[in-house]
Chains A and B, each alone.
Chain A
């Protein structure tokens, strides 16, 4: 029998050491692992380096919670409202170190680690001040002599991924856009899969083309229905747009964020209680069912 990797969110998160590098928000605005992020804040696992393309407001919340000391990302804010106020305050106050990337350079950095190479070259970033940031090298391509940018590998200690369904083994199905999810899973030393639903391995094996995360890459599986709220999950629930606007209004100053976090993070005993707090109906109203896919022999 393959190992059963299911565990509770609290136990899974307790495995993460302070000072770790955590990649999250890997499908961009889709399927962001907010439930796992909030548990990081509740356990106060500090001095984290956060890696991801944009994360929507997850990184802003972790910065506000005081558990992040460094962000390596292309963008940090609130996609609906613009600024992430905790991020702004922390950077402007000198409390947060930022490594500026583009989305593609985050993808390439993770892909480099996934391939086990020290860097990957790109012609993106050329001419920008991002290319001049200290982590990059602008050099000549040894074959044709063109200017290229070397993007060094980023190998996170942990990648957090939220999926629609996973087997207890860690083999997982996810659908909808995936951003840099697969690159991060392969780049990371450890992977936490949070899932809307734990299913039998037979379900996963019935559609292997949808399986892009397999057990040997996964450390822990946590059943976390509604675990990506307020971000959307294809086929499960819509994005909670009102939440993002209300969050922006509530967190314009640090006291406002603290009050918000007391209510939505520290004052919530688990995700079921959290779910009851969300009054809006985000359910999928017009489901699209894929045409049947047949395998066999």
Chain B
């Protein structure tokens, strides 16, 4: 992972989502095989492979395997630019088989709700008495169960942070501690959460505040959580840091891959 000192500052401003993409890209290490999925992680992979992770590979549950950015804007993983000049266009059992065997280093996830232990809900939520049906898992549950580590991207909205998710679509660290091992969940679980205001790690399965994005206040970020959020200070003794800004190179790549800001405008 890049150090936090290498941020050179944006070219006079960037959106919160561009910041998320940039932070997510740094979670991909050179040589990783990444299970990418849709939306912001798609762009994050393209930024990572264009910068610090030229040997990273991406796989998509539709069956696409790529080693470079698509030459064209993507709404979905199956848009023709993502299929064109891919390394392989195969099927789901092929790529999910790699995941099941433990060959995926990092998987990306989103969620409507996240709880203290990184469990995610994309199936159903309540607004007062009314139940709202969400689209469901897609490949998220599989990625959450079986990737060596997962990185979660979410808009920073207090209603999304709950003590316990109503439905565990994609398991994180369950109830914390050795829960995954006890439940025989094969992969390593969430290693990071990136929101539009901060980045978080997990310690003993529990979420903690790692860095806040420039201009954000750590106490205010922590106050958005309905439990007493731990911080890096509690875990390592180092105070909460500031997230490195997107480099000029990363920003220009984000804008190349998403020229109209469809995914990355706020």
Residues of A within 8 A of B (CB): 27-30, 53-54, 56, 73-77, 79-80, 82-84, 87-88, 91-92, 98, 100-105, 107, 111, 122-130, 146-148, 175-183, 231-232, 234, 238-239, 241, 244, 284, 286, 288
Contacts and interface: CB of A to CB of B under 8 A. Distances in A.
Interface stretch (B74-82, B193-201, B251-259): B74-82
Interface string B196-213: 000000000000000000
Contacts of B144: 128
Interface in B108-150: 123, 130-142, 144-146
B171 interface: yes
A198 B89 CA distance: 23
3 tightest CB-CB pairs across the interface, nearest first? A77-B135, A127-B171, A177-B63
Instruction: Name which of A27, A102, A176, A177 has the most chain B CB atoms within 10 A of its CB.
Output: A177
Interface in B79-105: 79-80, 83-85, 89-93, 96, 99-100
Interface residues of B, number: 52
Given A177-B90, A179-B91, A288-B85, A234 B145 contact: no
Nearest to A282: B80
B135 A30 contact: no
A261 to B, nearest CB: 21
Given A102-B142, A180-B93, A244 B174 contact: no
A231 B167 CA distance: 31
B41 to A, nearest CB: 14
Contacts of B169: 128-130
B78 A28 contact: yes
Given A28-B61, A122-B100, A129 B80 contact: no
Instruction: Name which of B64, B76, B89, B130 has the most chain A CB atoms within 10 A of its CB.
Output: B76
Interface of B: 38, 60-64, 75-80, 83-85, 89-93, 96, 99-100, 123, 130-142, 144-146, 167-171, 174, 179-180, 183-186
B186 A75 contact: no
Contact of B133 (A88, A104, A122, A179): A88
A156 B78 CA distance: 24
Given A123-B186, A128-B141, A180-B92, 16 more contacts: A28-B62, A28-B78, A28-B92, A77-B134, A79-B38, A83-B135, A101-B137, A107-B92, A107-B93, A123-B185, A124-B99, A126-B184, A128-B137, A130-B137, A176-B89, A284-B80
Given A75-B137, A88-B133, A92-B133, A126 B183 contact: yes
Contact of A74 (B38, B79, B137, B184): B137
Contact of B139 (A80, A103, A177): A103
Contacts of B123: 100, 129-130
A103 B184 contact: no
B216 to A, nearest CB: 26
Contacts of A91: 133
Contacts of A83: 134-135
B96 A177 contact: no
